[in-house]
Structure 1
Amino acid sequence: MKFAHIADVHLGLSRRIVNTREEDVARNFEEAIRKSLSEGVDFILIAGDLFDSSRPTPQTLRQAVRVLDLAREAGVPVFAIEGNHDRTHRKSSAYALLEDLGLIHLVGIRGESVENEYLRSEPRDDAYLVYGKVGDVTIKGMKYQNAPWFKRNDLKDIFRPDGKSILMLHQGIEETIKDVESQYSVGELALSQIPEGFAYYAFGHIHTNYFTNVGKAYLVYPGSVERTSAKEYSRKVLIDEFGKFQVFRGKPKGFVIAEWSDEEGIFVPSFRHLKTRRFYSIKARSMPLGLLRDVLRKVSSELKVGAEDVVKVTVEVEKTSNLDFIKSLFPTEFIDVEQRVVLREERIAGVEGVSLEDFFSKEEIAVLAALFEEEPDIEALVPAVLREFSVKEPEENEEKEKPEPQKGRKKEEPKEKSGEEGEGRKKKPDRKGSVTLDAFLKGGRV
């Protein structure tokens, strides 16, 4: 038994620098499906984010129909779940349309029972757990859920392995995010929350190809089929303030073919590469503009940047400068230049330097740093903010302020002034509940 594991396709993707990204993504999705069929897979899994939006355009839907029809014509079923980009809380979604057309089979927790050649249902409270069935292989899973959902629900109660079982989820795992250079800063669940006993864990959400284990089985992120931002670079270049630079190689893009091993009793994954548009992420520290020009010219030559490549240059500056000359150093029209103003660190004699730690806690600094990322994932930050900065309820012995009754309250008579100006007046107390910035961020009172 053999299957293809694809995730994070992002059909309909559009980016400011390159206006042909949608075609790039559709081309690689088609290549992944064609390669899978050529290798004789029994079924295909799409572990979320087939679309870049929950409301794909008619053109994007046509792309999905055209490519998925290749699998239908070959008689190979496609099982899918919704990711965080394309999930919807509406009754019907783009996935439902594709299912009605016979192009995919949607697994997960659904409001109605579904029974057909490839889907089965089992009742669960007031809903049904709909799962896939191909021969003796069972495919279970569900759409993306945020972190609070996992505090209220236990995956081990919902999903139980049954023979050659696969668990398909679109989630970030805390331990995984710490191991890879991810576009997300926090995960929704931990490895300890994932039920053991499945023969393969087909995950999506992290755009970097990554393998780990749950028990003896593989937990796999195939990564996205195309590079969706500069964070998913082909090469990353870091330039220090003296003009010295280092080049780092990014991970390839593609998908996974997994095959059953009788010897190991699990599905064993193997990565398949897809050709992608090259992305270069270049970050330079503050330096004289003449030196910056010379260094970037060397970087462009060493990287052998081509006309179809994408270049993102981020330069630290001490004051806003004209950096238009940078675009002429790279032989591509797909280039974006960003400057970030930074303050020079200076120390005054006899005065110690001041750092962020003097004003903010570690948790606050982490949130602030995440907010200033190139593409901050606000939804992913919510769990961290709720966890670290939630407002605490007052202690039992803490006196609570009670509002004075409004109705029937007698107007107070003005008090007689004392004979001497200012004599007898009491200093107004500070307002109760006043909050410092640090206390406000932590949700507490001073």
Structure 2
Amino acid sequence: MRFIHTADWQIGKPFRQFHERESVLRQARLAAIERIGQFALREGVAHVLVAGDVYDSEQPSPRTLLEPLERMRQFPQVAWHLIPGNHDPHRPRGLWDRLRDHGLPDNVHAHLASEPVALGGEAVLLPAPLTRKSETGDLTRWMDGAPSGPGLLRIGLAHGAIADFGTEGEAGNPIDPARPERAALAYLALGDWHRTVQVSARAWYAGTHEPDRAASQETGTALLVDIPGPLAVPVVTRLETGSYRWLTRDEHVAGAADIDSLDARLRGLGNLSALVLRLRLSGAVSLADRTALDRRLLTLSAALFHLDTDVTKVVARPTEQDLESIDFGGVLRHAADRLQLLARDEARAAGERQLAEDALVELFTRVAGGSGTA
């Protein structure tokens, strides 16, 4: 048995922080479905299992509702198996009923009940669809006693959190990590975590097919699963399905050399136009170096798809040369000296000190950093 395991497409997910580029990331989630279909054709895969959260919300627009169906329709040789997750649970007259009323493509199957489903003559699929956003009980428990024909592989499909069952009733949508053994599953295809995670030899989270948040999965992934026989351990291969990389970097800068090195390393990441970078900086630099840093970051942001920079922990430490560049002894120098004192005054609130430091940097930039006007 060979199939592809994917999850957490969350079609229709908003990316409002990207403003005019929001639509680009929304379209990338649809393009990743096509990439999964292309992998299925290349690998001779007849079934794709989608472990929940096909949609980001319970009330997608009519167009958003149909968009993933049309991507799957393009691959009639492949059977796509979907279950509801916590973002898109199956409720009466909800989105899944809307889909059925509209009509699914012949190759797309929505499994809305906990009952065995034949996958050709090789396996039986045991789905555990969610009917609410949060369940206190384990919806995969029914798999233990689910019937299947002799010699058929038993494959579970579920959406939830592997949890310590000493706390069952408190965690939402808990799944017993021992379910593959308890239910004699050849493989348990999981969704919910947006990282590719191996829980055990027979249980995996696929991760999301296109990254959608910082400090999570860097690249979109689906899993190619090969099961040579009823007792064989699955062979799992990661498939890169995403268009964009989401990286988080923590960096320290203490001068011009560090800024040059940082710029070179970030540019060395490659394919910058498809990179979403969250950059958190710390350190202490002169006003001249801080101005140079801001200019480098502005230039870098033009190269990347998106740059989210946090410089609140980069402290500006004016040198005497910095201050003389503002003014030798006039009103501007007086203002710079006053701002420096305020920025270093530990008796003041952190927000006030930060405001004074920002003003000092702005004063230096306007007077000595290139504009020539205060």
- TM-score relative to the length of structure 2: 0.64
Amino acid in the other structure paired with 1:68: M
Question: Is 1:135 aligned to 2:106, yes or no?
Answer: no
Corresponding residue of 2:250: 283
Whether the 8 Å CA contact 2:153–2:185 is kept in 1: the answer is yes
Paired residue type of 1:160? G
Q: Paired residues, what number?
A: 288
Of 279, 286, 299, the match for 1:328: 299
Q: Where does 1:343-358 land on structure 2 (aligned, <5 Å)? A: none
Q: Tell me which residue corresponds to 2:362.
A: none
Match 2:185 to one of 185, 198, 219: 198
Alignment partner, residue 30 of structure 1: 34
Map 1:225-304 → 2, pairs under 5 A:
225-232=209-216, 234=218, 252-262=219-229, 264-265=231-232, 267-284=234-251, 293-304=259-270
- Supply the distance in 2 between the matched residues of 1:47 and 1:288 (Cα, whole angstroms): 47
Following the alignment from structure 1 to structure 2, what is the Cα–Cα distance between the partners of residues 309 and 169? 31
Residue ranges of structure 1 left out of the alignment (5+ in a row): 110-128, 176-184, 235-251, 344-446
Partner amino acid, structure 1, of 2:48: I
Cα distance change of structure 1 residues 281 and 69 upon mapping to structure 2, 3 Å threshold = same
What is the CA–CA distance in structure 1 between the aligned matches of 2:3 and 2:62, rounded to whole Å?
29
Q: 1:170 to 1:44 in 2, by over 3 A?
A: same
Report the Cα offset of residue 159 of structure 1.
4.2
Asked if 1:307 is matched to 2:273, the reply is: yes
Q: Counterparts of 1:39 and 1:328 in 2: how far apart (Å)?
A: 42
Q: Distance in 1 between matches of 2:87 and 2:312?
A: 29
* Aligned partners of 2:139 and 2:173 also within 8 Å: no
Does the aligned pair in 2 maintain the 1:44–1:79 contact within 8 Å? yes
Q: Residues 33-48 of structure 1: matches in 2 within 5 Å?
A: 33-48=37-52
Equivalent position to 2:85, from 83, 86, 99: 83
* Aligned-partner Cα distance in 2 for 1:43–1:99: 24
Return the letter of the residue paired with 2:64.
T
The verdict on how the C-alpha distance between 1:281 and 1:233 changes in structure 2, with shifts beyond 3 A counting, is: farther
User: Residue by residue, what CA displacement relative to the aligned partner does 1:102-159 show, whole Å, maximum 9, x if unpaired?
Assistant: 33322243xxxxxxxxxxxxxxxxxxx3332123421112234667512xx5743554
Contact 1:218/1:269, CA 8 A, preserved across alignment: no
- Structure 1 residues 132, 256: closer, same or farther in 2, change over 3 A? same
Q: After superposition, give the CA deviation of every residue in 1:365-420 in whole Å (9 maximum; x if it has no partner).
A: xxxxxxxxxxxxxxxxxxxxxxxxxxxxxxxxxxxxxxxxxxxxxxxxxxxxxxxx
Pick closer, same or farther for the CA change 1:263–1:307 going to 2, 3 Å: closer
- Runs of 5+ unmatched residues, structure 2: 165-170, 285-289, 316-374
User: What is the CA distance between 1:197 and its match in structure 2?
Assistant: 0.5
Question: Structure 1 residue aligned with 2:68, among 64, 69, 88?
Answer: 64
Change (3 A) 1:91 1:102: same
Q: Distance in 2 between matches of 1:189 and 1:259?
A: 23
Rg (Cα) greater in structure: 1
Task: Report deviation, 1:305.
Answer: 5.8
More helix by share: 2
The two structures, once aligned, show a CA RMSD in angstroms of 3.6
- The alignment partner of 1:149 has SS state of coil
CA contact (8 A) 2:279 2:308 kept: yes
- Does the alignment pair 1:4 with 2:4? yes
The verdict on how the C-alpha distance between 1:196 and 1:101 changes in structure 2, with shifts beyond 3 A counting, is: same
